[in-house]
Amino acid sequence: MNANIEKMIELVSKKLGIPQEKLKASLEKGNIDDMLSDMRGEDAEKLKSVMNSASSKEKLLNSPEALQIMKKMGEK
């Protein structure tokens, strides 16, 4: 796996309190339900809300932070 992706998984894991391996497996399967079970209820509901809203996903993916991460990932 790309070093940038590994670093991003590490940071997200720490931020959300989800073990890195579980996060990685959930991302590879495309199933966030596994991750949600380890998150605090409030955080899980926020993530579900974003993932279920096309406009929220679009806004998130077009945020300066997301664009910067995607740019860095494309450089490697």
Alpha helices in 1-76 (DSSP H): 3-16, 20-29, 33-36, 41-51, 54-61, 64-75
**Amino acid letter, residue 15:** K
Angle between helices 41-51 and 54-61 (to 10 degrees): 100
* Whole-number pLDDT of residue 75: 62
| Model confidence, pTM | 0.51
**Amino acid letter, residue 71:** K
* Whole-number pLDDT of residue 76: 53
What is the full per-residue pLDDT of the chain (76 aa) written as tens digits? 567 778 878 888 887 777 888 888 887 887 777 777 777 788 878 877 877 788 877 887 788 888 887 777 676 5
